[in-house]
Amino acid sequence: MKSGFVERNTKETQISVEVKLDSKGIAEIDTGIGFFDHMLYALSKHSGISMNVKCKGDLNVDGHHTVEDTGIVLGQALSQALGDKSGIARYGSSYIPMDEALSFCSLDISNRPFLVFNGKFSNQMIGDYDACLTEEFFRAFAFNAGITMHLNMLYGVNDHHKCEALFKAVAHALKEAVKSLEDGETLSTKGML
């Protein structure tokens, strides 16, 4: 079973992340931000990637360092678990509805990180989570995992629904992309990613 473990300690955050590509999606999450924990649980459960995420951040300042740095470390741990990225399907796309909201993700685990993020939230906060940090999280995650990621919150009214649909769309796209290919080859005309 492929797995990755990364620790990062700065003056702003102390984070440890372990991921396992075991198709179980078992999560232990504690970042100190309840709604963010809820999103990471959804990401783990729906992707089938088991995650153990522990973060102590400077929440007395705000949630920015906690959310962005968790994205950095989660991306690094996933990259470590995928190794040279050979033998995986590489691409994944998913539309996810949540009540009145619809979100879409298309991604390529290519070692060429990029993020396109389209969508707006109506409110600044979703519980104790600053909604604008959603883009920061996915940018940090994509760039550190080596993923080209296109995210679209197509429509919706309730910010909780819009955000959760987006995290679940990423999860289902990841589930497709990390699937093992029968021949174990690298899905690239270059022969490597």
pLDDT at 183: 77
pLDDT at 86: 87
Q: Which two tokens stand for residue 114?
A: 């990029």
Neighbours of 150 (CB within 10 A): 17
Q: What is the mean pLDDT of residues 48-52?
A: 98
* Whether residue 8 has pLDDT greater than 90: yes
Domains and CATH numbers, the chain: 3-177 (3.30.230.40)
Q: Is 15 helix (H, G, I), strand (E, B) or coil?
A: strand
Cβ burial, residue 84 (10 Å; 0-12/13-18/19+)? exposed
pLDDT band at 187 (very low <50, low <70, confident <90, very high): low
More confident residue, 143 or 184: 143
Rg (C-alpha) for the chain, rounded Å, is 16
Q: What is the pTM of this model?
A: 0.94
- C-alpha pair distances (Å), 153 with each of 37, 60, 167: 20, 30, 10
Separation between Cα atoms, residue 14 and residue 70, nearest integer Å: 9
Q: Is 1 helix (H, G, I), strand (E, B) or coil?
A: coil
Cβ atoms 114, 148 nearer than 8 A:
yes
pLDDT band at 1 (very low <50, low <70, confident <90, very high): confident
pLDDT at 192: 60
The helix (H) or strand (E) run that includes residue 8 is strand 3-9
Separation between Cα atoms, residue 193 and residue 188, nearest integer Å: 7
pLDDT at 79: 98
pLDDT at 182: 77
Partners of residue 103 on adjacent β-strands: 96, 153
pLDDT at 26: 97
φ and ψ of 191, to 5 deg: 90, -5
CA 2 to chain centre: 17
Partners of residue 18 on adjacent β-strands: 5, 52
Task: Give the total residue count for the chain.
Answer: 193
Q: Is the dihedral of CA 61, 114, 37, 49 positive or negative?
A: negative
